Amino acid sequence: MRMGEAIPLAQGDLRWVFPEVDDPAVVSGALSEADARMRRVAAHLGAADTGLEFHRVEGFMLHGVFGLAESSDVSFAAELCLPQDCLWSKPAGPPWQVEAVVMVPGETTADDAEEGCGTEIVAEWAHSYDTPVEAARGLIQATDWLYEQCVTFEGWIRPPRRGSGRGGRGVHAGD
Protein backbone atom coordinates (compact mmCIF):
# COMPACT_ATOMS: atom_id res chain seq x y z
CA MET A 1 0.00 0.00 0.00
CA ARG A 2 1.13 3.55 -0.70
CA MET A 3 2.22 5.74 2.20
CA GLY A 4 -0.85 7.99 1.85
CA GLU A 5 -4.16 7.44 0.15
CA ALA A 6 -6.89 9.91 -0.79
CA ILE A 7 -10.46 8.62 -0.83
CA PRO A 8 -13.03 10.82 -2.61
CA LEU A 9 -15.87 12.04 -0.39
CA ALA A 10 -18.48 10.02 -2.30
CA GLN A 11 -16.52 6.78 -1.74
CA GLY A 12 -15.87 7.28 1.97
CA ASP A 13 -17.81 6.58 5.15
CA LEU A 14 -19.17 9.38 7.36
CA ARG A 15 -18.44 7.26 10.45
CA TRP A 16 -14.72 7.82 9.86
CA VAL A 17 -15.28 11.42 11.00
CA PHE A 18 -18.62 11.19 12.81
CA PRO A 19 -18.67 7.79 14.58
CA GLU A 20 -22.15 8.28 16.03
CA VAL A 21 -23.91 10.51 13.51
CA ASP A 22 -27.67 10.76 14.19
CA ASP A 23 -28.73 12.35 10.90
CA PRO A 24 -26.41 11.04 8.17
CA ALA A 25 -28.51 12.40 5.28
CA VAL A 26 -28.27 15.99 6.55
CA VAL A 27 -24.54 15.70 7.25
CA SER A 28 -23.88 14.00 3.91
CA GLY A 29 -25.85 16.71 2.09
CA ALA A 30 -23.88 19.49 3.78
CA LEU A 31 -20.55 17.77 3.00
CA SER A 32 -21.63 17.35 -0.63
CA GLU A 33 -22.36 21.08 -0.77
CA ALA A 34 -18.94 21.88 0.73
CA ASP A 35 -17.39 19.49 -1.84
CA ALA A 36 -19.06 21.40 -4.69
CA ARG A 37 -17.82 24.69 -3.27
CA MET A 38 -14.25 23.39 -2.93
CA ARG A 39 -14.44 22.31 -6.58
CA ARG A 40 -15.53 25.87 -7.43
CA VAL A 41 -12.32 27.16 -5.81
CA ALA A 42 -10.28 24.70 -7.90
CA ALA A 43 -12.12 25.72 -11.09
CA HIS A 44 -11.43 29.40 -10.43
CA LEU A 45 -7.71 28.60 -10.13
CA GLY A 46 -7.73 26.30 -13.14
CA ALA A 47 -6.46 23.59 -10.77
CA ALA A 48 -7.14 19.85 -10.62
CA ASP A 49 -10.72 19.18 -9.55
CA THR A 50 -10.27 16.83 -6.59
CA GLY A 51 -12.93 18.17 -4.22
CA LEU A 52 -13.08 16.89 -0.65
CA GLU A 53 -11.37 13.66 0.38
CA PHE A 54 -10.81 11.35 3.30
CA HIS A 55 -7.16 10.40 3.90
CA ARG A 56 -5.55 7.18 5.04
CA VAL A 57 -1.87 7.26 5.99
CA GLU A 58 0.13 4.06 6.55
CA GLY A 59 -3.11 2.12 7.13
CA PHE A 60 -4.54 4.63 9.63
CA MET A 61 -7.65 6.59 8.71
CA LEU A 62 -7.28 10.29 9.48
CA HIS A 63 -10.49 11.38 11.16
CA GLY A 64 -11.34 14.25 8.85
CA VAL A 65 -12.40 15.53 5.46
CA PHE A 66 -9.81 17.49 3.51
CA GLY A 67 -9.74 19.67 0.40
CA LEU A 68 -6.89 21.38 -1.46
CA ALA A 69 -6.86 23.57 -4.56
CA GLU A 70 -3.52 24.96 -5.63
CA SER A 71 -1.57 26.71 -8.32
CA SER A 72 2.10 27.63 -8.42
CA ASP A 73 1.32 30.95 -6.68
CA VAL A 74 -1.20 30.00 -4.00
CA SER A 75 -2.88 27.09 -2.20
CA PHE A 76 -6.35 27.02 -0.65
CA ALA A 77 -6.96 24.25 1.89
CA ALA A 78 -9.96 23.27 4.01
CA GLU A 79 -10.39 20.56 6.61
CA LEU A 80 -12.94 19.27 9.07
CA CYS A 81 -11.44 16.96 11.66
CA LEU A 82 -11.58 15.50 15.10
CA PRO A 83 -8.54 16.46 17.14
CA GLN A 84 -6.31 13.48 17.90
CA ASP A 85 -2.92 13.10 19.51
CA CYS A 86 -1.43 10.70 16.97
CA LEU A 87 -2.47 8.50 14.05
CA TRP A 88 -3.17 5.41 16.10
CA SER A 89 -5.07 7.05 18.96
CA LYS A 90 -8.84 7.12 18.96
CA PRO A 91 -9.85 10.73 18.35
CA ALA A 92 -11.54 12.73 21.05
CA GLY A 93 -14.63 14.67 20.19
CA PRO A 94 -16.67 16.66 19.98
CA PRO A 95 -15.72 19.33 19.19
CA TRP A 96 -14.94 19.04 15.52
CA GLN A 97 -12.48 21.60 14.19
CA VAL A 98 -13.04 23.27 10.81
CA GLU A 99 -10.17 25.23 9.31
CA ALA A 100 -9.42 26.95 6.04
CA VAL A 101 -6.08 28.47 5.06
CA VAL A 102 -4.55 30.37 2.18
CA MET A 103 -0.85 29.68 1.65
CA VAL A 104 1.78 31.15 -0.65
CA PRO A 105 5.34 30.02 -1.32
CA GLY A 106 7.63 31.43 1.34
CA GLU A 107 11.31 31.47 2.04
CA THR A 108 12.66 27.94 2.03
CA THR A 109 15.28 27.07 4.58
CA ALA A 110 17.27 23.88 5.04
CA ASP A 111 14.80 22.86 7.78
CA ASP A 112 11.84 23.48 5.45
CA ALA A 113 13.32 21.33 2.71
CA GLU A 114 13.61 18.39 5.09
CA GLU A 115 10.02 18.79 6.26
CA GLY A 116 8.54 19.58 2.82
CA CYS A 117 7.51 23.08 3.90
CA GLY A 118 8.43 26.41 2.42
CA THR A 119 4.93 27.90 2.53
CA GLU A 120 3.53 30.81 4.46
CA ILE A 121 -0.06 31.06 5.70
CA VAL A 122 -1.36 34.47 4.68
CA ALA A 123 -4.98 34.04 5.79
CA GLU A 124 -6.83 31.57 7.97
CA TRP A 125 -10.32 30.84 9.24
CA ALA A 126 -11.09 28.41 12.07
CA HIS A 127 -14.08 27.43 14.21
CA SER A 128 -15.07 24.53 16.48
CA TYR A 129 -18.45 22.79 16.42
CA ASP A 130 -20.22 20.49 18.86
CA THR A 131 -22.41 18.48 16.47
CA PRO A 132 -21.80 16.75 13.14
CA VAL A 133 -24.45 18.89 11.41
CA GLU A 134 -22.89 22.13 12.70
CA ALA A 135 -19.41 20.94 11.65
CA ALA A 136 -20.54 19.97 8.14
CA ARG A 137 -22.31 23.32 7.73
CA GLY A 138 -19.16 24.99 9.10
CA LEU A 139 -17.19 23.35 6.27
CA ILE A 140 -19.59 25.01 3.81
CA GLN A 141 -18.80 28.36 5.46
CA ALA A 142 -15.07 27.60 5.29
CA THR A 143 -15.17 26.72 1.58
CA ASP A 144 -17.26 29.85 0.87
CA TRP A 145 -14.62 31.88 2.72
CA LEU A 146 -11.89 30.22 0.63
CA TYR A 147 -13.73 31.12 -2.57
CA GLU A 148 -13.97 34.76 -1.46
CA GLN A 149 -10.21 34.71 -0.82
CA CYS A 150 -9.60 33.04 -4.19
CA VAL A 151 -11.58 35.66 -6.09
CA THR A 152 -9.69 38.49 -4.39
CA PHE A 153 -6.26 36.82 -4.47
CA GLU A 154 -5.05 38.73 -7.53
CA GLY A 155 -5.12 41.97 -5.49
CA TRP A 156 -2.94 40.66 -2.67
CA ILE A 157 0.68 41.62 -2.26
CA ARG A 158 2.75 38.50 -1.75
CA PRO A 159 5.32 38.31 1.03
CA PRO A 160 8.60 39.90 -0.05
CA ARG A 161 11.40 37.59 -1.08
CA ARG A 162 14.94 38.46 -0.11
CA GLY A 163 16.27 41.10 -2.45
CA SER A 164 12.95 41.58 -4.24
CA GLY A 165 12.48 45.16 -3.06
CA ARG A 166 8.75 44.55 -2.57
CA GLY A 167 7.28 45.37 0.79
CA GLY A 168 4.27 44.39 2.82
CA ARG A 169 1.66 41.73 2.31
CA GLY A 170 -2.08 41.53 2.29
CA VAL A 171 -3.63 39.32 4.92
CA HIS A 172 -7.33 38.54 5.04
CA ALA A 173 -8.42 37.45 8.52
CA GLY A 174 -11.34 35.13 9.13
CA ASP A 175 -14.31 36.28 11.11
What is the band of 148 on the pLDDT scale with cuts at 50, 70, 90? very high
- Gap between the Cα atoms of 139 and 35, Å rounded: 9
Q: Does 9 reside within a domain?
A: yes
Q: Does 10 reside within a domain?
A: yes
Query: To the nearest whole number, what is the mean pLDDT of the chain?
Result: 77
Q: Write out the residue range of the structural domain in which residue 134 sits.
A: 4-155
Cα dist from 87 to 17, 58, 135, whole Å: 13, 9, 21
Task: Please say whether the beta carbons of 75 and 143 come within 8 A.
Answer: no
Dihedral class, residue 101 (left if φ above 0, else alpha if ψ from -120 to 50, else beta): beta
pLDDT at 152 over 90: no
pLDDT at 84 over 80: no
Q: Does 139 reside within a domain?
A: yes
Angle between helices 132-152 and 24-45 (to 10 degrees): 10
The pLDDT tens digits of the residues spanning 116-135 come to 456 788 899 999 999 999 99
- Gap between the Cα atoms of 81 and 141, Å rounded: 15
DSSP string, 53-67: EEEEETTEEPSEEEE
The DSSP secondary-structure symbol of 72 reads: S
pLDDT at 1 over 50: no
pLDDT at 99 over 90: yes
The DSSP secondary-structure symbol of 106 reads: -
The total number of structural domains in the chain stands at 1
Q: Does 174 reside within a domain?
A: no
Phi, psi angle pair for 109, to nearest 5°: -110, 175
Q: Does 168 reside within a domain?
A: no
